[in-house]
Amino acid sequence: MRVLVDTCVIIDALQSRAPFSEVAQKLFIYSANKQFEGYITAKSVTDIYYLTHRLTHNDVETRKILSKLFTLFHLLDTTSLDCRKAISSEIGDYEDAIMVETAIRSEMDCIVTRNVKDYMKSSVKVCEPSALLKLLEEENETIISITEKGDGELTYADFCGCGCLSGGGHSGKNSTEVSDSGDTSVRYQSYTDFRLQRGSGRRSRGRCSGL
């Protein structure tokens, strides 16, 4: 499943923003373990840098955080065509409209955001982080259950939920176990396994659109 992750969800995880951080950080784990294909837009990276730098007050450290983030999520370019199409979009917020146009062009299955109400007119499916997490956890439990029974290969077509799940088969291994490089198998079990935020600072709260 190809999921475009909104900036607010990324910041929730990086800055441990209560009460949203727990779900956001679990989504980081699922993305790290390749249980869904997570994407962020190139346009959002500067916002992530700015908001993170406000906490770290350190350019080098902030760039390290971005570097780690890029290992967890793919980057989608925002094109001039996305910007032009967003002009005539029915979505009121222009920035959100651009994100939807990028998702359409890149064939995303869904957008995950806390700001669902502002995407009501999106032609791409939109869900809250908790809804996506629930779907992934249910999918993971089903995969483990069937794998233990030895019922053979699974595909994402066996499931339905947030977005149109489609894609290749499953290897039959526990889905939290993935190959990182070469023959080395890596299993991420907690957010601290790849903690992105190191410095201390004030933890912020806020709604999605205001970050």
Distance, CA of 185 to CA of 49 (rounded, Å): 30
The tens digit of pLDDT for each residue in 69-90 reads 999 999 999 999 999 999 999 9
Rounded distance, CA 192 to CA 92, Å? 38
Residues 90 and 62 sit within 8 Å (Cβ to Cβ) = no
Task: Report pLDDT for 174.
Answer: 35
Residues of the chain with pLDDT under 70: 143-211
Beta strand spans in the chain (E): 2-5, 37-41, 74-76, 110-112, 126-127, 178-181, 184-186
Name the pTM for this structure.
0.71
Report how far residue 78's alpha carbon sits from residue 18's, in angstroms, rounded to the nearest whole number: 30
- φ, ψ at 51 (rounded to 5°): -70, -35
